[in-house]
Amino acid sequence: MSDVEPRTAPALEVRDLARTYGSGATAVQALRGITFRIDQGSMVCIMGKSGSGKSTLLRQLGLLDSPTSGEVLLEGVEVTRLRESRRRLLRLERLGYVFQEYALLPELLAEENVYLPALMSGGSLRACRDRARQLLAMLDLGNRAGHRPSELSGGEQQRVAIARAMMNDPAILFADEPTGNLDSASSEMVMKALARMNSELGVTILFVSHDLDHRQYARGVIHLRDGALTASES
Ligand SMILES: Nc1ncnc2c1ncn2[C@@H]1O[C@H](COP(=O)(O)OP(=O)(O)O)[C@@H](O)[C@H]1O
Ligand SMILES: [Mg+2]
């Protein structure tokens, strides 16, 4: 066959992406035409001041919102104009999310928090629990699997949230200020946990941070300013 697609399309490709909130005099141009690509298996940091459009960018890439214009290619497939049912499937099967808040269910054990979503989408209890325990062990939480969130530190809770996001073996993990609520020692453990998921499980990671120290975990850095790309290093 002659013109087959290259086997490894970029994990993400963004072309002239724009997102405007509202309209008329009060419209806010949160993203003003952004273009870049991220290779599979990469770990990229998005930096920029508060209000520069970092969360907006992550939401467009994570299919949690739809851009005003421009294209997003996920593993070579343009996704902004797909039907919502198809986007939902991609979110469930190909993407994972970690936010600043851990959003764990307080009445569930750590391992139950990790595997519950997978169990609800039809996995067997044994397979789900085995994978959850494996992920928790990889994140140095093997001895915390049977604890409730209230018995865990903030950094431990965030690592449980990372394990939960990895349950369905996503191609891309989005993390919006995952260390925003943590002291620097816990932050470092969370960043190392993400780096481990990237290097050992091969998941592509895009994370937002405004801690310059966190650049050391990234292979590329995307700088945003007022909704525009000011630099993209790799
Ligand atoms: N839902 C929304 N409606 C209106 N304006 C919004 C909304 N979300 C974000 N904005 C605005 O868009 C800009 C970028 O916001 P955001 O992406 O949250 O930036 P960051 O994550 O870098 O702090 C800001 O001016 C913000 O006030
Ligand atoms: Mg934000």
pLDDT for the residue numbered 134? 97
Ligand 1 atom with least separation from CA of 49 = 22
Say if ligand 1 is within 6 A of residue 60 CB: no
Angle made by CA atoms 53, 54, 57, in degrees to the nearest 5: 85
CATH class of the domain at 12-233: alpha beta
Q: Which residue has its alpha carbon closest to ligand 1 atom 2?
A: 21
Q: Which residue has its alpha carbon closest to ligand 1 atom 4?
A: 21
> What's the order of all strands across the beta sheet hosting 69-74?
28-38, 12-21, 69-74, 77-78
pLDDT tens digits, residue range 159-186? 999 999 999 999 999 999 999 999 999 9
Could you tell me the residue ranges of all domains in the chain?
12-233
pLDDT band at 98 (very low <50, low <70, confident <90, very high): very high
Using the structure block, give the residue that is written with the tokens 């919102």.
65
Beta bridge partners of residue 71, listed in sequence order: 15
Residue from 20, 26, 56 whose mutation best tests the ligand 1 pocket (most atoms within 8 A of CB): 56
Beta bridge partners of residue 20, listed in sequence order: 29
Q: Which residue has its alpha carbon closest to ligand 1 atom 1?
A: 21
pLDDT tens digits, residue range 123-156? 899 999 999 999 999 999 999 999 999 999 999 9
Say if ligand 1 is within 6 A of residue 26 CB: no
pLDDT tens digits, residue range 29-67? 999 999 999 999 999 999 999 999 999 999 999 999 999
What three-state secondary structure class fits 172? Answer: strand
Ligand 1 atom with least separation from CA of 176 = 21
121: pLDDT strictly greater than 90: no
Sign of dihedral through CA atoms 121, 125, 127, 132? positive
Q: Structure pTM?
A: 0.94
Cα-only R_g, the chain: 18
Q: Which residue has its alpha carbon closest to ligand 1 atom 16?
A: 53
pLDDT tens digits, residue range 205-218? 999 998 999 999 99
Q: How many Å lie between the centroid of ligand 1 and the Cα of residue 14?
A: 19
1: pLDDT strictly greater than 70: no
